[in-house]
Structure formats: C-alpha cells, structure tokens
Amino acid sequence: MSSQGLENVYDDSNLITQEVLKRYEDTADPRLRQIMLSFIRHMHSFVRDVKLTPDEWLAAMNLLEETGKWCSPGRNEFIIFSDALGISMLTITQDYPRPAHATEPTLIGPFMLENAPLFELGTDISAGAQGTPMFSQGRVLDVAGKPLAHAVIDVWHSDDRGLYDVQEDLATKGPWARAKLRADAEGRYSFWSVLPVDYPVPQDGTAIHMLRATTGRNWRPAHLHFRIQAPGQRTLVTHIFDRHSKHLDADAVFGVRPSLIGDFKRHESGQAPDGRAMSQPFYSLDYDFVMVPA
Ligand SMILES: [Fe+2]
C-alpha cells in the first residue's frame, strides 16, 4: 500500500472499519467469524456514536486491568459487569427453550466454585457460617415429572452478613455455605444451612464503581444459588429468591423471575421437617426443580 493509501485509511474512520472487517473475514471458524465481524461493527459504531476520546478509552483499559486483579477462584469480577449490564440474563433468556412448567434458569453470578465439598443429604452445609438455621428440601424431576435419581446439586449462598466464603480468606477458612449434594434414588435432596440475606454487589471491587456512578442500584435480593446436573438433562443454573426480600423488584443484576421466588417459612421453634427438634427459630424451604432435556 502506498503512503497515500495509508493516510486515507487512518484519516477516515469508515475506512478503518472496512479495513478491520476485511481482515477478520479470513477467520476460518464460521461461528467465530460471525461473532467477530458483528462485534467489530457494533464496537466501531459505539465508538463513533459517543465520539469516544483516547483518554476515555485508556480509562476503560485501566478499568479492565484493575478488574482482573479482583478475580480469583470463586470470584469473577468481570461477571458482575456482565450481570449488571443485563448481558448475562440476555444470553440465558435467548438460549434456553423452556416448557412452561420447567424451572427457569438465571445467572450463575461471580461466586461459583468448582469442586465444592461433598455433603451427605440432610446434613448441615453451613460449616460455621453465621445465621438463622434453614432447612431446605425438594425433588429434582424431568419435564414428565419423573424423578432424576442421583442428580448432582451444587448449592452456595451468603451468610447473615451478606458475604460469601470466597469473599473471605478461602485458603485459611475453607468453603462454607457451599456444598455438592447427590439426590437420592427418588430425586430427593435436603440440607441444613443458614438463611441467606439481601446483600450488595461486592463493595471492594470495580463493578461497584460503575453502579455508584450510574444506577445507584447495587442490592441483590436474598437467594440460594443452585447448579443441577443430571444425565440427559440440560444443566440448570438458577437461584431461589426469598419472597420476603424488599429488593425483589430491583435486583442489581436483573436475575429475578417470578417462578423462582420461594417461600422461606419462619418457624419459632419445634419439630423441623426432618424431625429434628429445634429450640430456636428456623426457616424451611421446599422447592422442586424441573429440568429440560439436553
Ligand atoms: Fe448470590
């Protein structure tokens, strides 16, 4: 290319876009090519639309660098940005064909940890987490109502401060309020833990800065996270929200679905659903999950 040609390319913003698109047309994988070409078109349009300045671009690059520093096993700060911008829920909504009675999926959130400790059904997974005792039970079913024997259930949630184990020193304290369970032959599951509470988006990372500067909405309604896996079924990632939360209509990350609001019932004391005698107040939650075929 002549030096004259180069000047034209870099002086005209439309020519830059065309040059970039032309190069990425060579991408061999057809899906990756589709994604990259669309991404470049939209990002170039965005830069033009807001007349993004070099200083603003550099601030964004620095923010990404800082965001990376807040990531560790069990905490992905980038996911909080995706969640807070509605992108996580958009991908889920458009990707998940759902029969009317199947359990709705919702976002996975930033605190999923693989290799959670395995607990026996009916045992206490709180592992020292503080809060009001809570007993949760239900079944895992397919869309025909047939139990999914031995489904693998990951559950994780906050303590009564609204914190997750991964927000503390995981290496020293180990996981708490986090477990892997295996449903029984009738697809039943049960566990004890502590009642999750409403909590704000992590106050120590970078996503909170965006929310403070924009919507000011940074609360999540109290919930339990579940990931359920069973042979022949699509992996279900979802939450069960507490009906009593005052933040159900303003979730910072747009994850609430009416069908995912559960009845966390308060009991003053007495016999728990599993027969355990409770001398203090406790909560119980019954929820059946219905999975979609893979
Ligand atoms: Fe959560």
Give 7 or 237, the one with higher predicted confidence: 237
What separation in Å is there between the alpha carbon of 113 and the centre of ligand 1? 12
H/E stretch holding 172: helix 170-173
Q: What is the CATH number of domain 77-291?
A: 2.60.130.10
Provide Rg for the chain, Cα atoms. 23
Phi and psi at residue 231, to the nearest 5°: -55, 135
What separation in Å is there between the alpha carbon of 197 and the centre of ligand 1? 10
What separation in Å is there between the alpha carbon of 90 and the centre of ligand 1? 18
What separation in Å is there between the alpha carbon of 223 and the centre of ligand 1? 6
Look at residues 177, 175, 115, 156 and name the one whose alpha carbon lies nearest to residue 238: 156
pLDDT at site 1: 46
What separation in Å is there between the alpha carbon of 267 and the centre of ligand 1? 24
Region 211-221: mean pLDDT is: 96
The whole model's pTM is what? 0.91
pLDDT at site 6: 59
Residue 108 makes CB contacts below 8 A (sequence gap 6+) with 79, 88, 225, 227, 237
Residues above pLDDT 70, as percent of the chain: 96
pLDDT digits (tens, 9 = 90+) for 10-22: 667 789 999 999 9
Helix (H) and strand (E) counts for the chain?
8, 14
What separation in Å is there between the alpha carbon of 158 and the centre of ligand 1? 7
What separation in Å is there between the alpha carbon of 39 and the centre of ligand 1? 29
Question: pLDDT category, 2, cuts 50, 70, 90?
Answer: very low
User: Is residue 179 predicted with pLDDT exceeding 50?
Assistant: yes
What separation in Å is there between the alpha carbon of 44 and the centre of ligand 1? 34
Look at residues 50, 26, 48 and name the one whose alpha carbon lies nearest to residue 37: 26
What separation in Å is there between the alpha carbon of 225 and the centre of ligand 1? 6
What separation in Å is there between the alpha carbon of 109 and the centre of ligand 1? 6
Region 162-173: mean pLDDT is: 92
What separation in Å is there between the alpha carbon of 203 and the centre of ligand 1? 14
Q: Per DSSP, what are the bridge partners of residue 189? A: 138
pLDDT digits (tens, 9 = 90+) for 100-159: 899 999 999 999 999 999 999 999 999 999 999 999 999 999 999 999 999 999 999 999
What separation in Å is there between the alpha carbon of 195 and the centre of ligand 1? 13
pLDDT digits (tens, 9 = 90+) for 254-294: 999 999 999 999 999 999 999 999 999 999 999 999 999 99
pLDDT digits (tens, 9 = 90+) for 71-103: 998 999 999 999 999 999 999 999 877 788 999
User: Is residue 5 predicted with pLDDT exceeding 60?
Assistant: no
What separation in Å is there between the alpha carbon of 101 and the centre of ligand 1? 24
User: Is residue 38 predicted with pLDDT exceeding 80?
Assistant: yes
pLDDT at site 107: 95
Average pLDDT, the chain: 94
